[in-house]
Amino acid sequence: MALALSPSLIVAHISAYAHLDKGSETIHSQTSILCLPSCLENPRESAILLETLHRYLLEKPDQSSLHGPQPPCAIVTWETNEGSFYSGQPPLNRLSFQRQSPEKLNAHLNAPNARFILFRDLKPLVKKDSPSEWLFLSKSDIESHVGPDFSGPSSEDAASKERSRLFEAARLPAYLPPIVFLGIDDRADASTDSKPMSEDPLNPRGVPYFAMDAPKGDWVPEGGEFGDARSVGSGMGGWEAGVFAQGRALVDWNSRNKFCAGCGSPTYSLWGGWKRSCTSALEPEEGKEACFSTKGLHNFAYPRTDSVVIMGILNEAGDKMLLGRQKSWPKGMYSCLAGFIEPGESFEDAVRREVLEEAGIVVGPVRYSSSQPWPYPANIMVGCFGRASDDQTIRFDLDNELEDAQWFSRSVLAGLVGSKEGSYLSKDDLKKLDDTSTGKAKMEDDRVTANALAPSEDQGKKDVDAEGKKGRQGMELTRVPPDTAIAGMLIRTWVNGGVELASTSKL
């Protein structure tokens, strides 16, 4: 979307973020990332915007003077939702503080306007004649599958604080399919993403949303089909994609954690699908020590989101970006390097370790840019920029994850992000990526990786040269990821000039 660029528009963007009480550094970063791609189409406009931003921030260090009503142009940013696809915007109001209350959740569950989204094998139920739109169901459509309401403690259990905690909005017996309370859509007008219906944040009004696994078998509601996750998700509107990402990740987490990691007993769902507990605690055996999972906080009892760094590595001159590709990707596609963050590691260190591992390149300064939920199945992508000298030898033999990596110039990438064909994936491409991540494609190597467009387990065996130092350079680059993936956003942001390159570090 191209908008007329004017000083008032720029100031309005800054004011929008200042209104959220951000510091000037964040304002600069957010404005660059979120506004540039949606407002500008060429580097010259971007340069003007950045210059104006710098001037504005220098002249207006006191952010308190910027507070005021949110200007209309902020809506443009939210509407286009290019900054963080899959995070909604505005997201559902999750009402996380109500998850422990069966009374509150049952009121949402039985509200006449409650909507259910279904997944089968993590494929979303969508309209057959419009596969990028949800087929929302009402409770009456799936009454027998939903079964009883969320449980609370019996009067006997309620007398004990410890016992009563075991029944906080639970689904019992344990074999019942979990129902995940996603939250409510509290927009007064969904067509404009306008402000919430109610001004009371503790008692908001809206449409409740729930997610669950579809009943086993081949039952499909009339007018619906279970679509390929990746092509359906990436084709959705921004708000719907947020519901998709949240629902898919939670349904996946519940289905993967049916047994206690502490003692192997079955688990059951509580907190409206946001917690799982060990059934051994429900009927403790006399003389037997309680499962350790019932005491303290445990990362297997609450939904996980696995962190992945994804990075646009720029050379010293700032005119080239390092991109790589895996063998399983669509032909001609290159993307930013990426990898899972390891325990005890900062974002910055993870970026440096991954780039060295995958391409043999030593990275200097690293800077956080923006993030994106990635529901394949439940990651948070941490987007960064880094700087590295481009006179180093690229090599793939350290972890054999990439098929190729190269430095590409801004002009080459500008040609791709500016054309539909250059940042486009067909339905077949997306299905292939879906199959590799869900294990349906042939696996040549079972190591887990994460990468820019599609975390994929299909590493393949790499052809390396006799010295084992270089892979197959010179492969043709014809595509980069679309804007619905953060890799596409990082590339586009840099191409449009939206990256601060000033650095005092010697590479």
Number of helical H runs and strand E runs in the chain: 14, 14
Question: Comparing C-alpha atoms, which of 241, 192, 301 is closest to residue 88?
Answer: 241
Is the Cβ of residue 136 or residue 259 nearer to Zn ion in the bound state? 259
Instruction: With contacts defined by CB under 5 A, name the span among 45-53, 143-151, 168-176, 288-296 that binds Zn ion.
Output: 288-296
Q: With contacts defined by CB under 5 A, how many residues of the chain interact with Zn ion?
A: 8
Is the Cβ of residue 44 or residue 295 nearer to Zn ion in the bound state? 295
Q: Would you count residue 450 as binding Zn ion (CB under 5 A)?
A: no
| Closest approach of Zn ion to the CB of residue 283, in Å | 12
| Closest approach of Zn ion to the CB of residue 254, in Å | 16
Instruction: With contacts defined by CB under 5 A, name the span among 242-250, 283-291, 445-453, 497-505 that binds Zn ion.
Output: 283-291
Contact status, residue 157 vs residue 163, Cβ threshold 8 Å: yes
Instruction: With contacts defined by CB under 5 A, name the span among 219-227, 252-260, 302-310, 406-414 that binds Zn ion.
Output: 252-260
Q: Would you count residue 279 as binding Zn ion (CB under 5 A)?
A: no
Q: Give strand pairing partners of 181.
A: 210
Task: Identify the residue whose tokens are 């509290």.
Answer: 186
Q: Would you count residue 49 as binding Zn ion (CB under 5 A)?
A: no
Return the number of other C-beta atoms located less than 10 Å from residue 45's C-beta: 17
DSSP state of 180: E
Q: Would you count residue 137 as binding Zn ion (CB under 5 A)?
A: no
Q: Would you count residue 260 as binding Zn ion (CB under 5 A)?
A: yes
Helix axes 7-18, 73-80, angle to 10 degrees: 70
Q: Would you count residue 281 as binding Zn ion (CB under 5 A)?
A: no
Of 147-186, which residues contact Zn ion (CB under 5 A)? none
Is the Cβ of residue 235 or residue 262 nearer to Zn ion in the bound state? 262
Q: Would you count residue 257 as binding Zn ion (CB under 5 A)?
A: no
Q: Would you count residue 263 as binding Zn ion (CB under 5 A)?
A: yes
- HSE-up of residue 53 (Cα within 13 Å, Cβ side): 29
Helix axes 410-417, 486-495, angle to 10 degrees: 120
Q: Would you count residue 491 as binding Zn ion (CB under 5 A)?
A: no
The secondary structure of 409-462 as a DSSP string is EHHHHHHHHTSTGGG---HHHHHHHHHHHHT-SPPS-------SS---S---PP
Buried b (16+ CB within 10 A) or exposed e, 175-188: ebbbbbbbbbbbbe
Is the Cβ of residue 175 or residue 222 nearer to Zn ion in the bound state? 175
Is the Cβ of residue 280 or residue 400 nearer to Zn ion in the bound state? 280
Selected binder of Zn ion within 32, 293, 369, 371 (CB under 5 A): 293
Q: Would you count residue 262 as binding Zn ion (CB under 5 A)?
A: yes
Of 199-218, which residues contact Zn ion (CB under 5 A)? none
Contact set with Zn ion (CB under 5 A): 260, 262-263, 265, 278, 280, 291, 293
